[in-house]
Amino acid sequence: MSNALGMYRTVKRLGIPDSNIILMLADDAACNSRNKFAGCVYANPGRDLDLYGNNIEVDYRGYEVTVENFIRVLTGRMEPSVPRSKRLLTDDRSNVFVYMTGHGGSEFLKFQDNEEISAFDIADAFEQMYQKKRYNEIFFMIDTCQANTMYSKFYSPNILATGSSEFGESSYSHEHDYEIGVSVIDKYTHYMLEYMEGINKTSQKTMQDLFNSYDVGKIGSNPGVRSDLFKRPLDRALITDFFGGNVSRLVQDTPAVYSPPIQAKPDGTLEGWRKARAWTSIFFLGLLVAWVSTRQ
């Protein structure tokens, strides 16, 4: 659970508000009878920072965390009674960041040991999002065993993907807490979050910089990157295009290959690259979906 909560803390620190975050958690650790520190979740044995705390908003928890609900959130196929706070309110100007973590294997990820989502399921959900104009770009990140197989079936445009381990590889745990008796975070996510601590809202670090930070010796497995579906050069895509929110400037300092030039309308407003950005994030067991929108 600390994997997802650590990523949640990071995107919030970089400017994504809870109103634009959908957090999905099995939520079976903080109040587990084995947890000596009731109501708390830590990512290191020193317990310097309680990731659970009082400042999180969980949108789907426990039995609500299902493959069906996850697919419905992505595709927008929701019952009318579902509140806006549980919906992914994206459009064709939204960059979406999806983070997943948990127990998995070749082309599948378990949901609370009750069911599985496959690489085909996610690929088809992304295609539905594309057809329904629910994203501009997607950045997909997953930390699980054989993680890179989960993005092997993607076929929709404008998707960038990365994972913690190759086919046949495990994804390893990190930071064992002997008082609780379990490891509290996974290596890939730990070193990802460690790198992200050096990123602020105005950072010019790119996705290429992020991927260059991968250290196989520390992570213990071979992270992968898939960029053939992604139109922009990785050294032109800012990390904060997916992880952060900054609505005080135009998003033209890293223009996409496919973006039109900015033109002034007669009333003085701007076309082309739209103003600012909107965001959203989804967590799941350990899943995050975030969008960055560029409309006025």
- Residues annotated as catalytic are 103, 145
d(CA 145, CA 244): 27
Helices (H), 40-150: 67-75, 119-131
Q: CB–CB of 201/227 below 8 Å? A: no
d(CA 63, CA 25): 10
Q: Residue holding tokens 């033109």?
A: 263
CA 29 centroid distance within chain:
21
d(CA 62, CA 64): 5
Question: Which of 235, 287, 271 lies closest to 65 in space, CA to CA?
Answer: 287
Phi, psi at residue 78, to the nearest 5°? -110, 150
d(CA 286, CA 26): 9
Q: CB–CB of 219/191 below 8 Å? A: yes
Pairing of strands 224-226, 104-105: unpaired
Q: CB–CB of 65/110 below 8 Å? A: no
Instruction: Tell me if residue 285 falls in helix, strand or coil.
Output: coil
Q: Residue holding tokens 């599948």?
A: 108
Instruction: Tell me if residue 132 falls in helix, strand or coil.
Output: coil
d(CA 145, CA 68): 22
DSSP state of 259: P
